[in-house]
Structure 1
Amino acid sequence: MAGAVLALMMALPVQAQDVDVTGKWETTRETPRGTMTTTFTFVQEGSELTGTVGSQRGDSEITNGSIEGNKISFTLVMTMGDRTMEMVYSGTVEGDTITGTMQTPRGEQPWTAKRASGS
């Protein structure tokens, strides 16, 4: 009987471990104007993700955020003068690192964020 239970458990799909991204995360990237640091402040409640993103261009609110297992996704709308730009982020959380892609009007770009120390 124990062998049958073990075989059944091994046949079940493996679920990605749930994660908690609440806190500050940082990413840096090189731009024509120099190095740009962006700070994501995530608030996670279950699978819902909210928060803000702050950079040299100002702060923006995270919308449409969700966490499913270790998969993260959210939308960011930045306003620059009279223009707005929507960016859709998706990625995978592994420990204190998030790696994924960011969809922008200019195409897809990779992004990586690291949990800020003390967060």
Structure 2
Amino acid sequence: MKKKFTMAALLVCCVVAAFAAFADLTGKWKGTLKFDDFELPLTYTFKVDGEKLTGSIGSDQGENPISEGKIKGADFSFTLDFNGEKIPHTGKYYGDSTIVFSEFQGQKNRVKLTRAQ
């Protein structure tokens, strides 16, 4: 009996921890997109609702909404429409940081995000 209760309690803790991880991605994140000699500071705003991810990416040039956002565990994906071109993004949430990968015009990009203050 104790073994079944312990297993059930462990399962409940794992589910609660998974939902806490989803909630932690919600908020503002900052990072810098670097390519060649150019650096572009970016602000990502994420909102998690179940397995749905919404939000936007902003810079000093404006803000673009993300679409087709999904999150499962620590992995997430979304699409950014930039001047009519859809740019797929994937990412991984690490708690205190987040890594976002994308490919634009043949160039692979990686942006490390930290929580915005």
TM interval, short-chain normalised: 0.7 to 0.9
How many angstroms does 1:33 deviate by?
A: 6.5
Residues 34 and 85 of structure 1: is their aligned pair in 2 closer, same or farther, counting only changes over 3 Å? same
How many angstroms does 1:72 deviate by?
A: 1.1
What are structure 2's unaligned runs of at least 5 residues?
Answer: 9-13
Summarize deviations over 1:85-118 as a string: whole Å, max 9, x none: 322111210112112421323243222211112x
State the Cα RMSD in Å.
2.6
What are structure 1's unaligned runs of at least 5 residues?
Answer: none
Residues 30 and 104 of structure 1: is their aligned pair in 2 closer, same or farther, counting only changes over 3 Å? closer
Q: Which amino acid in 2 is paired with 1:17?
A: A
Q: Which amino acid in 2 is paired with 1:59?
A: E
Q: What is the TM-score of this pair, normalised by structure 1?
A: 0.72
Q: What is the TM-score of this pair, normalised by structure 2?
A: 0.73
**Alpha-carbon separation, structure 1, partners of 2:32 and 2:100:** 14
Matched, 1:60 2:64: yes
**Alpha-carbon separation, structure 1, partners of 2:57 and 2:32:** 13
Structure number with larger C-alpha Rg: 1
Aligned to 2:11: none
Residues 35 and 100 of structure 1: is their aligned pair in 2 closer, same or farther, counting only changes over 3 Å? closer
Summarize deviations over 1:28-76 as a string: whole Å, max 9, x none: 1334574311111111111111111111332111100011011111111
* Identity over aligned pairs, percent: 28
